[in-house]
Amino acid sequence: MSDRALDGLNVIDLTRVLGGPYCTMILADHGATVIKIEPPQGDEVRDWGPPFLEREDGARDASYFLGANRNKRAMSLDLSRPEGRAVLRRMLANADVLTENFKPGSMEKWGLGYADLAPAFPRLIHCRISGFGADGPLGGLPGYDAIVQAMSGLASINGTPEGGPVRMGAPVVDMGTGLYAAVAILMALYERQRSGLGQFIDMTLHDTALALLHPAAANYLLSGKTPVGSGNAHPNIAPYEVFRTGSGAIFIASGNDGQFRKLCAHLGCAALADDPRFANNAARLANRAAMITALEAALADQDGATIAEALIKAGVPAGAMQTVDQALGSTHTAHRAMVADLDGIKTLGTPIKFSRTPGGPETGTWTPPPSFAADQAQILADYGFTPDEMAALEAEGIIRTRRA
């Protein structure tokens, strides 16, 4: 097997919940050594269940934790204590990246802010994830995915005018921030090759949520009209929404006139494409209700899954509406290695597929999400801590083998 893309990269991960762990899992999937350092009480999402995985030692971890923490090594450390901070500094000696999502000001209070660390570790890339940043009108306030969805306008465009704003079913702000953070870290690593220096990365849920507002923000900034929820329909394209068939709903996403013409021909209603009301995208948007009525009449005697597959093979983007179990159990999901079994723990695969430096579960290098402090003794030994030092740290409560 070829080396993975990030082999040799050392990451100290102080993050909890989702945005930060999602970021570091991406790095770990592709070879980075990620040491997940949890506070004495552990990462709180270990408790965000059911469902739970019952561990052999009697502990249990929620699926929420399992889904964002594979391929990491785990230990505990009480950073509120000077002895804990001394351990962290010792570990930072060979770290490339430090990630954390403490409330802004916490690391500075402990003497672990970027300005404190940079003189001793000039090559260190310090990535902070917070809700709103350290300054500004909302600086220092806590951020949570759903709250930022509400405040950013994301919820307002997810729903219908009649039903009102709806939180998106997936925590897109947390995961989007994790994705942006991973990209930012890789950019900083690339720049470090030129400058030899690390830098501070200031990632916020607030900024990410606004960055995800496409095309709603672009529409508003050009037209001045406030976007509203459009349900399953696209505000700029038609047909681009859910349609009823004789058995189940399908989604049709016809992005141009050629695709619309193919759609009509395949459904046996080719004349619709020549109707002035549907001649181009702007006309179809203006006459959306009539278009839906006409297309659903042609779909009424069709099997949803069958016609969706036929359409997409004919060049018209379409797909059957599936449940999560159907999607995860599909033959194409299996073909793309998007579900993996790691020692009895099922997890998603990686969407990043390299030709020469693979990082997916098929490499045989992936490891299950760790239990609390699972690798603590070996990690500390790797950093030169003696058994007596470890025993003293545990006696003082600086490290723990079980959650507080």
107 CB neighbour count, 10 Å cutoff: 21
Examine the domain organization and report whether 208 and 254 are in the same domain: no
4-57 pLDDT per residue, tens? 999 999 999 999 999 999 999 999 999 999 999 999 999 999 999 999 999 998
Decide if 79 is inside a domain.
Answer: yes
Strand partners, 7: none
Last residue of a domain, one of 276, 293, 320: 320
Structure tokens at 398: 């600086």
Angle at 30 between CA 27 and CA 33, to 5 degrees: 60
Decide if 316 is inside a domain.
Answer: yes
Domain interval for residue 283: 240-244+249-320
User: In 146-199, where do the E strands start and end?
Assistant: 159-160, 164-165
Q: What is the mean pLDDT of residues 109-132?
A: 98
Q: How many domains does the chain have?
A: 2
Q: Are 247 and 300 in contact (CB under 8 A)?
A: no
Structure tokens at 44: 């709180």
pLDDT band for position 1 (cuts 50, 70, 90): very low
The predicted model scores a pTM of 0.93
Examine the domain organization and report whether 122 and 170 are in the same domain: yes
296 CB neighbour count, 10 Å cutoff: 12
Structure tokens at 192: 């470090």
Q: Which CATH number belongs to the domain containing residue 254 in this structure?
A: 3.30.1540.10
What is the chain's mean pLDDT, rounded? Answer: 96
Q: What's the pLDDT score for residue 2?
A: 58
pLDDT at 371 over 80: yes
Examine the domain organization and report whether 38 and 151 are in the same domain: yes
Alpha helices in 30-75 (DSSP H): 63-66
Rounded Cα distance between 41 and 19, Å, is: 19
Examine the domain organization and report whether 340 and 314 are in the same domain: no
96 CB neighbour count, 10 Å cutoff: 23
Catalytically annotated residue among 29, 96, 145, 174: 174
Examine the domain organization and report whether 87 and 164 are in the same domain: yes
Examine the domain organization and report whether 76 and 127 are in the same domain: yes
pLDDT band for position 286 (cuts 50, 70, 90): very high
Peptide bond into 370 cis (omega under 30): no
Examine the domain organization and report whether 83 and 192 are in the same domain: yes
Examine the domain organization and report whether 111 and 62 are in the same domain: yes
Examine the domain organization and report whether 149 and 186 are in the same domain: yes
248-280 pLDDT per residue, tens? 999 999 989 999 999 999 999 999 999 999 999
Decide if 225 is inside a domain.
Answer: no
Examine the domain organization and report whether 132 and 166 are in the same domain: yes
Structure tokens at 61: 């971890």
Q: What's the pLDDT score for residue 362?
A: 81
Give the pairing type, strands 159-160 and 164-165.
antiparallel
Decide if 221 is inside a domain.
Answer: no
Q: Are 53 and 26 in contact (CB under 8 A)?
A: no
3 is catalytic: no
Decide if 301 is inside a domain.
Answer: yes
Rounded Cα distance between 153 and 167, Å, is: 10
Q: Which amino acid is at 242?
A: V
45-69 pLDDT per residue, tens? 999 999 999 999 899 999 999 999 9
Decide if 400 is inside a domain.
Answer: no
Examine the domain organization and report whether 270 and 151 are in the same domain: no
Rounded Cα distance between 300 and 293, Å, is: 10
213-255 pLDDT per residue, tens? 999 999 999 999 999 998 898 999 999 999 999 999 999 999 8
Last residue of a domain, one of 296, 320, 344: 320
Decide if 112 is inside a domain.
Answer: yes
Burial class of residue 101 (count of CB atoms within 10 Å of its CB; 0-12, 13-18, 19+): buried
Decide if 201 is inside a domain.
Answer: yes
Examine the domain organization and report whether 366 and 300 are in the same domain: no
Percent of the chain with pLDDT over 70: 100
